[in-house]
């Protein structure tokens, strides 16, 4: 009988909801946000937001966090693999307070409050959730394994200080599933082979 | 061929289901059992539920929640297979507020505050997290599959209005992996064949 226990080492558990805004279906990315809520990691618990937008940040990456060590660890361990643009450790980390709201069925909002910026990420017109699971090395360019519950959003918005980022979420495929370029990603754990 | 990274089964819920089981001796009967749910998404909506049975409750089941619909749905869908004593829909639901504190590296505490009771569940001496994944049919008596990140606790305490329950948690195996009768269970998703 197969063991119910994954033999790999857990690196983190938490959430990593994301938004990718495009100028048209299959078009160019004009905005991107990666929002982490971490319960367990080697750098402790906390939140981090990596974001850039063509019109709101002139393409520059901004990083907000309530745990600087976690923000740097996520860059090194995960963002360098997922989206290297977010992995530059020379980008300063802005202290921020994080909160979530919404019913999780129709919409969800993550709020990030810092001294210079007030940011909201909103996912709406939520679709059916599905469970992503793949072991270390099973997907191209993914030496780590992942378990995550994705909920695709038909609509998503990034706002900074009341200004809305240009671009829209569009349908996307994940494996054989209809998904979106903007998803809530809850119940997420990353694994790697034991050393 | 690359394996399809998506589980083909519909998701029923995602959230957390940390638990505490306390006994006087290893392998002995549970004197206290608590099932704490923090749900982000389910057909009953989001919210929290604590199912509790202890010598502190005179072995009666107490249910605390901030979402009655979620509670009844969890009883019908999940607890009826996990621990039927928690699935009796005639047990009244006590309205409560839920909060979590802790650094989650050495300890984590869930607090449940109702009009009459202050319940506290604490997991400490935390071990190394590991992932469990049961395919549908892999859990006796349940049609569901489950994925969860378990962190076993070397020690746990449940108290009601400042009085701690008797007993303690003990090492326990899941599959071939050493775990505990008390675990944090985060990043948990249940699926069921459609």
Contact state of B5 with A149 under an 8 Å Cβ cutoff: no
Residue B3 domain-assigned (yes or no): no
When CB atoms are compared, the residue of A4, A9, A149 closest to B132 is A4
Residue A3 domain-assigned (yes or no): no
Indicate the number of domains in chain B: 1
One pLDDT digit (tens) per residue for chain A, 195 residues: 578 999 999 999 999 999 999 999 999 999 999 999 999 999 999 999 999 999 999 999 999 999 999 999 999 999 999 999 999 999 999 999 999 999 999 999 999 999 999 999 999 999 999 999 999 999 888 899 999 999 999 999 999 999 999 999 999 999 889 999 999 999 999 999 998
Contact state of B104 with A45 under an 8 Å Cβ cutoff: yes
Contact state of A44 with B103 under an 8 Å Cβ cutoff: yes
Residue A97 domain-assigned (yes or no): yes
Proportion of chain A in helix, strand, coil states, percent, rounded to 5:
10, 55, 35
Residue B7 domain-assigned (yes or no): no
pTM: 0.96
B158: left (phi over 0), alpha (psi -120 to 50) or beta: beta
Q: How far is CA A14 from CA A60, A188, B188, in A?
A: 26, 5, 10
pLDDT digit string, tens, across residues A20-42: 999 999 999 999 999 999 999 99
CB B186 within 8 A of CB B17: no
Residue A157 domain-assigned (yes or no): yes
Our CA angle for A41, A36, B69, nearest 5°, is: 100
Contact state of A147 with B147 under an 8 Å Cβ cutoff: yes
| Three-state DSSP state, B123 | strand
The alpha carbon torsion through B175, B179, B181, B184 (nearest 10 deg) reads: -110
The DSSP secondary-structure symbol of A132 reads E
When CB atoms are compared, the residue of B11, B103, B186 closest to A149 is B11
CB A192 within 8 A of CB B21: no
pLDDT at site A40: 96
When CB atoms are compared, the residue of A3, A14, A188 closest to B176 is A3
- Mean pLDDT of the region B153-173: 97
When CB atoms are compared, the residue of A9, A146, A176 closest to B4 is A176
d(CA A35, CA A98): 10
Higher pLDDT, A195 or B7: B7
The alpha carbon torsion through B180, B181, B183, B187 (nearest 10 deg) reads: 100
Q: Which of B187, B191, B145 is nearest to B38 (CA)?
A: B187
Residue B77 domain-assigned (yes or no): yes
> By CA distance, what is A44's nearest residue in B?
B105
Residue A84 domain-assigned (yes or no): yes
| Three-state DSSP state, B33 | strand
pLDDT at site A1: 57
Residue A40 domain-assigned (yes or no): yes
Q: Which of B44, B46, B61, B43 is nearest to B16 (CA)?
A: B46
Residue A153 domain-assigned (yes or no): yes
Residue A7 domain-assigned (yes or no): no
Contact state of B11 with A5 under an 8 Å Cβ cutoff: no
Split at pLDDT 50, 70, 90, the class of B176 is: confident
Q: What kind and span of H or E run contains A171?
A: strand A171-174
Could you count the other beta carbons within 10 Å of the beta carbon of residue B97?
Answer: 11
Residue B182 domain-assigned (yes or no): yes
d(CA B32, CA A86): 47
Residue B11 domain-assigned (yes or no): no
This complex has an ipTM of 0.95
> Would the pLDDT of B104 be above 90?
no
Q: Which residues pair with B133 in a beta bridge?
A: B147
d(CA A127, CA A179): 8
B188: chain A residues, CB-CB within 8 Å:
187
The minimum CA-CA distance between B55 and chain A, rounded to whole Å, is 31
DSSP B58-104: TT-EEEEES-HHHHHHHIIIIIHHH-GGGG-TTSPEEEEEEEEEE-S
Supply the range of the domain harboring residue B33.
Answer: 16-191
Best mutation site among B47, B147, B173 for testing chain A: the one with the most A CBs within 10 Å? Answer: B147
pLDDT at site B1: 42
The minimum CA-CA distance between A55 and chain B, rounded to whole Å, is 32
pLDDT digit string, tens, across residues B29-49: 999 999 999 999 999 999 999
Q: How far is CA B152 from CA B71, B106, B170, B184, in A?
A: 25, 11, 10, 6
Supply the range of the domain harboring residue A126.
Answer: 12-192
Indicate the number of domains in chain A: 1
B133: chain A residues, CB-CB within 8 Å:
4, 6, 133, 147
d(CA A98, CA A96): 7
The minimum CA-CA distance between A142 and chain B, rounded to whole Å, is 12
Which residues of B sit within 8 Å Cβ distance of A? Answer: 2-7, 9-11, 14-15, 40-41, 45-46, 103-105, 128-134, 138, 147, 149, 151, 174-177, 186-189, 191
pLDDT at site B2: 55
Q: How far is CA A86 from CA A29, A41, A48, A79, A93, in A?
A: 14, 19, 11, 6, 12
């Amino acid at each position: 009988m197969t063991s119910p226990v994954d033999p790999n080492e857990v690196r983190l558990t938490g959430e990593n909801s994301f938004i990718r805004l495009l100028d048209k279906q299959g078009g160019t990315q004009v905005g991107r946000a990666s929002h982490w809520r971490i319960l367990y990691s080697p750098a402790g618990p906390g939140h981090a937001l990596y974001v850039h937008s063509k019109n709101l940040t002139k393409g520059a990456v901004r990083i907000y966090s309530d745990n600087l060590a976690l923000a740097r660890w996520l860059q090194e361990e995960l963002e360098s693999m997922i989206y290297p643009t977010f992995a530059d450790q020379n980008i300063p980390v802005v202290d921020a307070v994080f909160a979530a709201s919404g019913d999780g069925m129709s919409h969800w909002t993550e709020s990030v409050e810092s001294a210079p910026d007030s940011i909201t990420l909103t996912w709406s017109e939520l679709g059916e959730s599905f469970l992503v699971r793949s072991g270390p090395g099973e997907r191209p360019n993914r030496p780590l394994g992942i378990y995550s519950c994705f909920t695709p959003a038909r609509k998503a918005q990034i706002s900074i200080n009341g200004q809305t980022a240009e671009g829209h979420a569009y349908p996307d495929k994940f494996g054989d599933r209809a998904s979106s370029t903007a998803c809530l990603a809850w119940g997420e754990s990353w694994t790697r082979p034991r050393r | 061929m690359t394996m399809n990274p998506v589980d083909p089964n519909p998701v029923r819920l995602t959230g957390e289901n940390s638990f505490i089981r306390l006994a006087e001796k290893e392998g002995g009967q549970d004197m206290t059992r608590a099932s704490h749910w923090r749900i982000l998404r389910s057909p009953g909506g989001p919210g929290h539920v604590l199912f509790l049975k202890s010598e502190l409750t005179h072995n009666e089941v107490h249910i605390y929640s901030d979402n009655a619909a979620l509670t009844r749905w969890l009883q019908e869908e999940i607890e009826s297979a996990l621990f039927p004593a928690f699935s009796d829909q005639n047990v009244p639901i006590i309205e409560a507020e839920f909060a979590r504190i802790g650094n989650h590296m050495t300890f984590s505490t869930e607090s449940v505050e109702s009009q009459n009771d202050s319940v506290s569940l604490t997991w400490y001496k935390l071990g190394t997290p590991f992932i469990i994944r049961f395919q549908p049919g892999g859990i006796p008596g349940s049609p569901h599959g489950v994925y969860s990140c378990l962190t076993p606790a070397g020690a746990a305490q449940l108290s009601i209005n400042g009085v701690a329950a008797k007993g303690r948690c003990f090492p326990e195996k899941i599959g071939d992996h050493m775990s505990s009768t008390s675990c944090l269970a985060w990043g948990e998703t249940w699926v069921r064949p459609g």
